[in-house]
Each structure stands twice: as C-alpha cells, then as structure tokens.
Amino acid sequence: MKKYHTYRLGGNRVRGPNIQKTDAGLKKRNSRRAKTKLYRLIATNFRRDDLRIDLTYANPEPTAEEAKNRIRKFIRDLRKKYKKKNAELKYIYVTEHVRHRVHHHVLINDCGISRSEINDCWPWAKFNYRSFRYFDGSPEDCMRLAEYFVKETDEEIRNENAVQKIRWVPSKNLKQPNVKKVTIYARKWKDNPTPKKGYQIVKVESGYTADGFPYQFYRMYKVNERNVWPITQSRVPKKRKECTVKQARDKPRRRA
C-alpha cells in the first residue's frame, strides 16, 4: 500500500521530446520506480524455493553479441527440459557487462529440476556454491532481489556497448501485477494505518519526497496464508494473556 500526493496538477499534458540529459535526481526516481515495478512482478510470479542462478563465463570472455545469443540459447534449452517435466518455464534475467566481466543473473520457477540439469544447459562455466541458490519468497527477499537487479543495470542501460538495453528480460507468460489506484480527497492520512480484516501490517515507512510531498508505504501480510507468503510464527502477533488483579499480586517477582 502506497499513499502519496498527486503530481498531476493542471490537467493532462502531452510529453515533449527528450532534449537534455537526465539529471541525477530524475535518474534516482526512475531507478526507484523500476525497483517498485520489478518487486511487484517478482512477488506476483515467484514463490519460496524457486531458483536464483548466476551464469558466468570461463576464459575467453565472450563478446556482447555472443553473450546475448548464449543466454537466449540457455533459456531455450531450459524450456525444453521443463516441457519434458510437464512444466512451464517462467523467468526474469538481467545481464551486466559494464563494470565487471559479462555475467547473467536469472530467477526461474522450480519444477523439481536438479542443479546438474540446469548446468547442462550452460556449458560455458560450472556452477559454484554461489551460482545456485533458493529464492526465499518473502516480500523482503522480493525487494532485495529487485533492488539488486536494478542496481546491476543502472549503468548498463545507459551504455551504448551494453549487452542488454533494458533493465530486465521477463518471460512472456508472467502475470502482470494487479495495481489499483484510488483517488482520495483528504488533507492527511493516519500515522498508524489499520490493516484489512485477515491481514497484518509488518512495516510502515513515512517521509517526504525530494519535492517535499509526504508519502506513506506499508506492506500487509495475509495471516496464515502460506500460498501467498511464507509467514513464520514469529511474524504473527501474539495475544497477551489477561490476568486478574489478584493473580498479578500473587505472581512471584524476580529479584534484582
């Protein structure tokens, strides 16, 4: 849930052509919006125990065009293995090439495929202990992964020699997040929002934008709904036990 003041004052306007270079402030806002968009996409399509894979290259390092063709071949070969298991491959991947050796970060859904089967689709390097990890699936992990992917591509998309000209490459079968926007006419909102019935609020962030407008952001978990988010018992608020005045008076006290 995100609450903010509208920027659309003065009616609808047609955007003009790009004339000047993007300033640092706008780059930061674009990056923040990209993180939010990717976070929603990951949260909608991927669950706990899906797979995070880092694809690297042994020497010699491939050219940009070779790297682009190899990651596409990897996806094609992996899709064939999924079909043999009567499963449909879903993925998001990013490619970094500017600051480091060319490599790819991939998030895929799990269908019971093994690490060795995935490595068979990538003959250019062997997986090490950091190349193959399980996705936690929590909202926090979705945001961490979105921030990491966007950070990796912040410089990449602005470089003419980049392998990947867009921030991330998603599979076409991903579900798009259902984002609802509601206009509310009010001077302010509650500092401590009330959760919907059956939900719990875990984190509330409040502050001001670079333009001085207030905002509020928080996440709500569906209580005991494992198919939505893996909520551990420690996250579920515990009810405090009530006792009478006599019980409180008779309860033994700890000595200092």
Q: For the chain, give the longest Cα–Cα distance.
A: 79
Please tell me the distance from the alpha carbon of residue 54 to that of residue 42, in angstroms, as a whole number: 17
Q: Tell me the pLDDT tens digit for each residue of 17-29.
A: 555 555 667 778 7
Least confident among 16-30, 104-118, 205-219, 242-256: 242-256
Give the pLDDT of residue 54. Answer: 95
Q: Which two tokens stand for residue 121?
A: 């689709």
Give the pLDDT of residue 114. Answer: 94
Handedness of CA 201, 206, 209, 211 (dihedral sign): positive
Mean pLDDT, the chain, whole residue set: 78
Question: Taking Cα atoms as reference points, which of 57, 41, 130 lies closest to residue 90?
Answer: 41
Q: Which two tokens stand for residue 46?
A: 């991927």
Predicted model pTM: 0.71
129 confidence band (pLDDT: 50, 70, 90) = confident
Q: Tell me the pLDDT tens digit for each residue of 201-235.
A: 777 777 776 667 777 777 777 776 544 444 443 34
Buried b (16+ CB within 10 A) or exposed e, 20-54: eeeeeeeeeeebeebbbbbbbbbbebbbeebbbbe
Query: At residue 226, what is the residue type?
Result: R
Q: Does residue 188 have a pLDDT over 90?
A: no
Between the ranges 129-138, 159-168, 173-182, 236-245, where is the mean pLDDT highest? Answer: 129-138
Within the chain, which residue ranges are assigned CATH 3.30.70.1910? Answer: 27-170
Alpha helices in 127-252 (DSSP H): 139-153, 245-250
Give the pLDDT of residue 181. Answer: 67
Q: Does residue 83 have a pLDDT over 80?
A: yes
The larger pLDDT score, comparing residue 187 to residue 107, is at 107
Give the pLDDT of residue 7. Answer: 56
Least confident among 28-42, 145-159, 205-219: 205-219
Q: Does residue 186 have a pLDDT over 70?
A: no
Please tell me the distance from the alpha carbon of residue 251 to that of residue 256, in angstroms, as a whole number: 16
Which contiguous run of DSSP H or E holds residue 128?
A: none
Give the pLDDT of residue 168. Answer: 92
Give the pLDDT of residue 37. Answer: 92
CB-based burial label for 221 (10 Å; 0-12, 13-18, 19+)? buried
192 confidence band (pLDDT: 50, 70, 90) = confident
Query: At residue 221, what is the residue type?
Result: Y
Pair 202, 217: CB distance under 8 Å? no
Which class is domain 27-170?
Answer: alpha beta
Average pLDDT over every residue of 74-88:
97
Q: Which two tokens stand for residue 54?
A: 């880092």
Q: Does residue 239 have a pLDDT over 70?
A: no
Q: Does residue 48 have a pLDDT over 80?
A: yes
Q: Does residue 245 have a pLDDT over 60?
A: no
pLDDT above 90 as % of the chain: 38
Pair 222, 197: CB distance under 8 Å? no
